[in-house]
């Protein structure tokens, strides 16, 4: 039997629409486990559709790489652990000061007695110069990192680099934690 006509090739946008309809149908029937497969396929088709804006495809690619479209809990947890490890290492290397800044009090005593006023200054934290791989530095860096994941400030004195590392950590790591929670929720839901 010789085919007389070649079957038309479906574009990713058309397949994504089909997957979306199948997913919605399964979700309406309370079959979340099978609907998740069609959600994954729908996102894959959207990611491969060249007619979609580049920014949207980049966002989908990132979402896929980090958490498998919110369906791969282990992948999201590995990324979170990797980010936390990188933050701890960066803080140990550049973020924690060499020594805790000491407070200095200066003032003048009036000749006839009277009121004394002191100004307490704190020296700026200095970057580490010696061995940065100590248990104490690791503990401080881990404390700052764990507090960053849950949007808390550790109260630790940091160098300028450490302040920026902590700010980046306070943005990225809670997002990764949220994606991990979303993936676990989707897994349990199924």
How confident is the model at residue 145, as a pLDDT?
A: 87
How confident is the model at residue 122, as a pLDDT?
A: 64
Q: Would the CA dihedral through 30, 32, 34, 35 be positive or negative?
A: positive
Considering the entire predicted model, what is its pTM? Answer: 0.72
pLDDT single digits (tens) 22-69: 999 999 998 888 898 999 999 999 999 999 999 999 999 999 999 999
Q: Would the CA dihedral through 20, 26, 28, 32 be positive or negative?
A: negative
Which of the pair, 127 or 42, is modelled with greater confidence? 42
How confident is the model at residue 121, as a pLDDT?
A: 64
């Amino acid at each position: 039997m010789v085919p007389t006509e070649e079957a038309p090739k479906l574009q990713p946008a058309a397949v994504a629409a089909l997957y979306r309809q199948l997913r919605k149908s399964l979700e309406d029937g309370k079959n979340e486990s099978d609907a998740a497969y069609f959600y994954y396929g729908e996102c894959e088709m959207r990611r491969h559709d060249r007619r979609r804006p580049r920014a949207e495809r980049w966002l989908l690619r990132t979402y896929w790489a980090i958490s498998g479209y919110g369906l791969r809990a282990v992948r999201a947890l590995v990324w979170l652990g990797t980010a936390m490890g990188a933050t701890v290492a960066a803080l140990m290397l550049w973020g924690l000061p060499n020594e805790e800044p000491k407070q200095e009090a200066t003032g003048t005593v009036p000749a006839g007695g009277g009121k004394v006023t002191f100004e307490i200054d704190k020296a700026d934290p200095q970057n580490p110069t010696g061995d940065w791989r100590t248990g104490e530095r690791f503990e401080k860096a881990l404390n700052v990192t764990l507090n960053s994941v849950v949007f808390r400030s550790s109260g630790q004195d940091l160098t300028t680099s450490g302040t920026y590392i902590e700010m980046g950590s306070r943005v990225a790591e809670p997002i990764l934690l949220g994606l991990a929670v979303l993936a676990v929720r989707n897994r349990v839901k199924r």
